[in-house]
Structure 1
Amino acid sequence: MDDDVVPIVEELRRRLPQVSAAEQGQGKEEACAQDGEGGEENEFPFEIRALEALFEAICSFLDARTRELETSAYPALDELISKISSRNLDRVRKLKCAMTRLTIRVQKIRDELESLLDDDDDMADLYLSRKLDASSSPTSSSDAPYWLYGSPNTGSKRHKSSRVSGTTVQRENDVEELEMLLEAYFMQIDGTLNKLATLREYIDDTEDYINIQNLNTPLIA
């Protein structure tokens, strides 16, 4: 397994422990009982908890890599400024390549989060269990009796309208809760990207300084 993937898998295992089918059934019964007794806030469904664990692991991993890079890069750049040598140039060249690769990865995660946050339909589609429940429900559109759609009966129309209204409210609540969750990780990954942008500026300033010193050796070959 890729070393970069290991911490993400470990985080998923920690946050989403495997349970038996019997335990899953018991958990559902307990959750229903809690909802009925105290009206406590429902926990995110499994797929959203998995998504949360995934983003938490990825964002934390990339931020840790960025901090490690900062710890190595800034002293190396300062040393290069104080003493321009082939050894120091080669060291900074490698660090800049590592920064470029890391920036691409961070930017990709940021773009994916931004894309999700910009589309309510995409966020709603992430609730896979809602779709499964709807498709297996005896009142789903595929199994509903024809009179729900064609009958002029007022009571039937009212029943259908009430069901649709409830579904719409549930969807809006789902999107709002997921949006708050994703925004937290967007801010985290955006902060990581800003750290890398600051580091790039420092490297660019160092390159300018070296050029001023009339050393025609670029940091990247």
Structure 2
Amino acid sequence: MVLESALEVVCSLFDTDLEAVKTEALNLIAKLTKKVTTDNLGYLLSLKGNLTRLLARVQKAKDEIEKMLDEDEDMAGFYLTRKWHKNQQARSRDDVKDLEMMLEAYLIEMDWTRFIQ
């Protein structure tokens, strides 16, 4: 499913960005324990901005997923190829449940990204 692939890529990018910020922060903390300088403090402020922007992107993605979860008709619409089947309504309800479970799993993964910091 295209949506699942896209969410997988988005979560992977979030994880990569978070890991980069964490690595930089740990290196900076090591420098700051040896010597506090104006440059290091400026860099710390920059890292804080990077983390804030990353967390805002994660929250925006979560908000969009939650909007999708709230719209049953939109959720059913993701399964366009199954609309041709005779028992569309029954399948549609099952599809919506499957999609909800997948989206909720990605919400949990995004929460994990937010709270790992």
Query: Which of the five TM-score ranges fits, normalised by the shorter chain?
Result: 0.7 to 0.9
CA distance in 1, matches of 2:77, 2:115: 30
Structure possessing the higher radius of gyration over alpha carbons: 1
Q: Which of 99, 116, 119 is residue 71 of structure 2 equivalent to? A: 119
Q: Tell me by how many angstroms 1:117 deviates.
A: 2.0
In the alignment, which residue of structure 2 is the partner of 1:68?
20
The question of 1:186 aligning with 2:107 is answered yes
CA distance in 2, matches of 1:126, 1:81: 52
TM-score, normalised to structure 2, is: 0.85
Q: Tell me by how many angstroms 1:84 deviates.
A: 2.3
The answer to which structure has the higher helix fraction is 2
Q: Tell me by how many angstroms 1:129 deviates.
A: 2.4
The question of 1:94 aligning with 2:15 is answered no
Q: Which of 195, 205, 220 is residue 116 of structure 2 equivalent to? A: 195
State the Cα RMSD in Å. 2.0
Moved over 3 A (4+): none
Tell me, what secondary structure is at the counterpart of 2:40?
helix
In the alignment, which residue of structure 2 is the partner of 1:174?
95
CA distance in 2, matches of 1:195, 1:111: 19
The question of 1:130 aligning with 2:62 is answered no
Tell me, what secondary structure is at the counterpart of 1:84?
coil
Q: Which of 50, 56, 67 is residue 104 of structure 1 equivalent to? A: 56
Identity %: 38
- The 5-angstrom pairing of residues 22-33 of structure 1 reads none
Counterpart code for 1:171: S
Counterpart code for 1:121: E
TM-score, normalised to structure 1, is: 0.48
Counterpart code for 1:59: C
Q: Tell me by how many angstroms 1:187 deviates.
A: 0.9
CA distance in 2, matches of 1:194, 1:115: 21
What is the aligned residue count? 117
Tell me if structure 1 keeps the 8 A contact 2:82–2:88. Answer: no
